[in-house]
Copies of this chain bind each other. A is one copy, B any other.
Amino acid sequence: MIRKSDITKLTALTLLLSATGFAQEEAATTEQLQNNINIVWTLVAATLVMFMQPGFAMLEAGLVQAKNSVNILMKNLMDFCIGSVMFFIIGFGLMFGSSTSTGGWLGTDYFMLHGITGGADWTYTFWMFQVVFAATAATIVSGAVAGRIKFHSYLIYCVAICAFIYPIFGKWAWGSLLNDNGAGWLEGKGFIDFAGSTVVHSIGGWLALAGAIVAGVRIGKYDKNGKPKAILGHSIPMAALGVFILWFGWFGFNAGSTTTGDGEIGRVAVTTNLAAVAGAIGAMITSWILFKKPEATMTLNGVIAGLVSITAGCYTVTPIGSLAIGLIGGVLVVFSVLFIERVLKIDDPVGAISAHGVCGAWGTLACGVFGAEAVLGIGDANTGFLYGGGFSQFGVQFLGVIAAFIWAFGTGMALFTAIKYTVGIRVSPEVEREGLDTHEHGIPAYTHDMGEEAPMVPVID
């Protein structure tokens, strides 16, 4: 990035060479080159984040029953489709438009990308990066309500979250990212959520919590004594593929959130990766202790837990800090899944509430614990209490976590309840037992025509 001191010197050169008419152009060119580097990096990152959609789709489809897998895929597909349109029309403007007149609570322009001038305007790239974040928030919910809610009710939910619920909270925390007139009230207090542990993941997670509560538990999930029964996912390889894709995309999610192509992106990628691996290790060990086996779905959720946990602090913590944050996230997700299933008796088929809601909150708070700008040589603010920064940053983080819970869980309960008592939220017991795929979409996920007398034995000698 061009520092201000450079610009002063640039001006000196401009004066010296102004007779040639060249200097000003040259200065612009240097800045333009860095802008172009930023644009290439940010668009590549946006593309990676977009690819998280099939990551979620494969993870969730793998963890539900075969009879409901087309339905969950359609939900993952359509939330991105509906979400993109709504974010284009309304959401982006609410989130990044000027908000001085609303005290940092709501944006008031940029609707339908109105007012952009010039085909190469940065706003296009920025919009592309942001729309995939909005879709991520939306898609988190689909897993938690899998196997039981109506397709058209889900579409209504998508309209609400991508047009209003997500972008309004986003304004509070990230409103100034596009222009200085857009600052939100929460970022004004120094709230840190670099890539969205709270803004994207907790918001999605608490909406998922509301959805799972209102939708109720799947038939057969609990026996008459309230004891939970495992309803196994139909394809663990599919779920594993989904997790790997999400991990891949997360490099765009976190390192892309710099929206600047310089050396900082390498560091963010390092913390992101270390937290992911620590999350997997943490969850694997925890499941090994609890169940006597390194359980696969818990370990996979551990990767997600690590990634969600580091998302807020990926820019401001050290590599060692990221290992600690991810490890704790990995342990946390196992206990949270068990607590939600066995104590709260809420049915979350893929563990989305734990991985995104709970770990998102943890990761946001962790910025107040492990923040280490001075150690990293990147500044002197945002110091966590482990690095001598006291508890003020932790307090701000706590405020943001609470605000996110109140906003997302509150609006989520209102929204799902409204849907429940209008168009209805739950499919009939018959449809649920026979599977949503054929009833809602007219097609089964799988057919098995392997040919007449398909050889199941070696055919090459």
Give every chain B residue within 8 A of A421 (Cβ-Cβ).
none
Known: A241-B58, A319-B112. A84 touches B274 (CB 8 A): yes
Docked Cα-Cα span, A120 to B58, in Å, equals 35
Contact digits for A28-39, partner B, Cβ 8 Å, 1 yes 0 no: 011011111101
Contact B119 A264 (CB under 8 A): yes
Known: A120-B263, A263-B120, A377-B118. A20 touches B30 (CB 8 A): no
Contact A120 B264 (CB under 8 A): yes
Contact A377 B236 (CB under 8 A): no
Known: A29-B6, A241-B57. A452 touches B434 (CB 8 A): yes
Contact A233 B61 (CB under 8 A): no
Known: A6-B25, A26-B30, A40-B261. A294 touches B458 (CB 8 A): no
Docked Cα-Cα span, A294 to B74, in Å, equals 9
Interface centre among A118, A444, A447 (most CB of B within 10 A): A447
Residues A56-91 near B (CB distance < 8 A)? 57-58, 61, 65-67, 69-70, 73-74, 77-78, 80-82, 84-85, 88
Contact A460 B440 (CB under 8 A): no
Main secondary structure of the interface of A (DSSP, over half): helix
Residues A214-236 near B (CB distance < 8 A)? 229-236
Known: A119-B377, A255-B43. A73 touches B261 (CB 8 A): no
Give every chain B residue within 8 A of A323 (Cβ-Cβ).
85, 88
Instruction: Specify how many copies of this chain sit in the oligomer.
Output: 3
Contact B44 A236 (CB under 8 A): no
The residues of A with any CB-CB pair to B shorter than 8 Å are: 2, 6, 9-10, 12-13, 16-17, 20-23, 25-26, 29-30, 32-37, 39-44, 46-48, 50-51, 53-54, 57-58, 61, 65-67, 69-70, 73-74, 77-78, 80-82, 84-85, 88, 112-113, 117-128, 131, 151, 229-238, 240-241, 243-245, 247-248, 251-252, 255, 261-267, 269-270, 273-274, 276-278, 280-281, 284, 291, 293-297, 299-300, 303, 319-320, 323, 376-378, 433-435, 437-438, 440-456, 458-461
> Top 7 nearest A-B pairs by Cβ distance?
A120-B263, A125-B266, A435-B451, A54-B244, A230-B458, A67-B451, A124-B266
